Amino acid sequence: MEINLRVYGLAIRNNHVLVSKEYIANKWLIKFPGGGVQPQESLSDALCREFREEMQCTVSEAQHFYTTDAYVPSWFDSKQRVLSIYYTISLLELKPYNALVLPKHTEHEVFWAPISLATFNTIDLPIDRTVFKRLLDLY
């Protein structure tokens, strides 16, 4: 079984966390910003690249927050197991925008969501929900 290594950033400001709404595999998903680690890429390089690509902003600091500690099958490929690593991050800048067209015309939006039970109920990916529960405990 292949391991799909993923890295995500948790940008937190005023009891809000930055989340991403993305159209993936014919479905809208609300998730934390981040994505796959490319071959030969370090985790920190992947995290910085994802934020540059998805939000045109720079990660200035990153501190480990959570690593998947259970078997999690991929939603999109039954031959893959997902291993996700989450960091709390600081951003140098975040350009304001409502929607962004990415390569392949994937629609994408990021927004600040309150760290609350109401937001937890909108998070789609199982690992992200586990991470959000930990945020709820802290905030």
Domains of the chain: 2-138 (3.90.79.10)
* CA contacts within 13 A on the Cβ side of 24: 13
Kindly provide the b/e burial profile for residues 58-84, where b requires at least 16 CB atoms within 10 angstroms of the residue's own CB.
Answer: ebeebeebbebeeebeeeeeeeeebbb
Chain segment 43-83, per-residue pLDDT in tens: 999 999 999 988 878 999 999 999 999 999 988 888 999 99
- The per-residue pLDDT of the chain, averaged, comes to 88
User: What's the pLDDT tens digit per position in 75-109?
Assistant: 888 899 999 999 999 988 765 544 433 444 457 78
Q: Within a 10 A sphere around the Cβ of 17, how many other Cβ atoms?
A: 22
Residue 14: φ, ψ to 5°: 50, 50
Cβ atoms within 10 Å of 88's Cβ, excluding its own = 17
Considering the entire predicted model, what is its pTM?
0.88
Residue 119 has pLDDT above 70, yes or no: yes
pLDDT-above-70 percentage for the chain: 91
29-38 average pLDDT score: 95
